[in-house]
Amino acid sequence: MEISLYIIIAYFLGSIPTAVWIGKSKFGIDIREQGSKNAGATNTFRVLGKRAGIIVLSIDIVKGLVAVLIPFISGYSDWRSDALINIQLTCGIIAVAGHIFPLFAKFKGGKGVATSLGIILGIHPQAASICILIFLAFFIISNFVSLAAIAASLSFPILVHLLFDNNNTYLSVFSVLLSFAVIIAHHKNIKRLMKGEENKMNLFKK
């Protein structure tokens, strides 16, 4: 019952369609009908501006973070124990599923990259922090959000295995699957990058 409750909460957290709600309530538009038609932070930045984009990005990260911290806060197991990591990853996967298929937005959501960042921040903050730096480096140099997201996701399993010597099998599998999931979610972006047609976004441009 306890685990079931965590999973239900994780799905409902993930299902909060931040970009959709902000787009409709503040701008009177459905973000899924504008730009790339994706209900995520990147499309929000492009269509609704930086302020709305930052809000959506922050909330989507927090969704993943809270989903994986609830089992620890409720006392399910000790910090960094295998039992806790396993249930945290389960909750994290469910939260991402909720973001991609949100109950509150007719099951049409975003790609889950920001929510996934929240998950790894809650489970492995050291590796997550380095991934953020890698993302920023690629983004600032290339101005491609998609390329930065792919680079950061690919670095996560490498960091977990080589730099931090992870011994949890579930986390090892999750880190690899997460990278593949991000690549698959960005398959259209990869095609546009190869054709030189991908949209750029300047982090410092007003």
**Amino acid 205: pLDDT:** 67
Confidence class of residue 103 from pLDDT cuts 50, 70 and 90?
very high
Residue 165's pLDDT is 82
Residue-wise pLDDT for 112-142, tens only, equals 889 999 999 999 999 999 999 999 999 999 9
How many angstroms separate the CA atoms of 69 and 89, rounded? 10
Tell me how far apart the alpha carbons of residues 146 and 131 are, in angstroms, rounded to a whole number.
14
Confidence of residue 151 (pLDDT cuts 50, 70, 90): very high
Average pLDDT over residues 78-82: 83
d(CA 120, CA 108): 24
What residue spans define the domains of the chain?
1-123, 124-206
The mean per-residue pLDDT over the stretch 72-95 comes to: 90
Which band of pLDDT confidence, cut at 50, 70 and 90, is reported for residue 36? confident
Which letter does DSSP use for residue 76 in this model? S
